[in-house]
Amino acid sequence: MEQVTFTFNVTPTAGYQYVPAFVRFFKEIKIVHFIGLNKPWLSRDSSLFASGSFGKGYDIMTELHKKWWKVFNRHYFGKIAGEIFSISDVTP
């Protein structure tokens, strides 16, 4: 049985242990499992997801939050968003 690669197996937490791998493979990440109470789809405000700075202001949770919204906006917003959210749910 082969191990799932890092880019298909990202589970960020406040105590994330793979910061170098995250920084190295960020653009290649395909699947993220958001554990805990904070989910990116609950708010567009990325400051709510800050988990601490990892060198030069790089914050894993904030970056993943932004990436989630970027993917959502590119693939879904305007297509099916009206069926899922009211406009007041997704605007700051």
Q: Can you give the residue ranges of every domain in the chain?
A: 6-85
pLDDT at 81 over 70: no
pTM above 0.75, yes or no: no
Give the per-residue pLDDT at 54: 46
The whole-angstrom distance between residue 25's C-alpha and the CA centroid of its chain comes to 14
DSSP 8-state assignment for residue 53: -
Give the per-residue pLDDT at 63: 81
Give the per-residue pLDDT at 36: 76
| Residue 33: strand, helix, or coil | coil
**Tokens 């493979």 identify what position?**
25
Give the per-residue pLDDT at 89: 53
Q: What is the pLDDT of residues 50-73, one digit of tens each?
A: 665 444 445 777 888 888 888 888
Contact residues for 24 (Cβ-Cβ < 8 A; gap 6+):
none
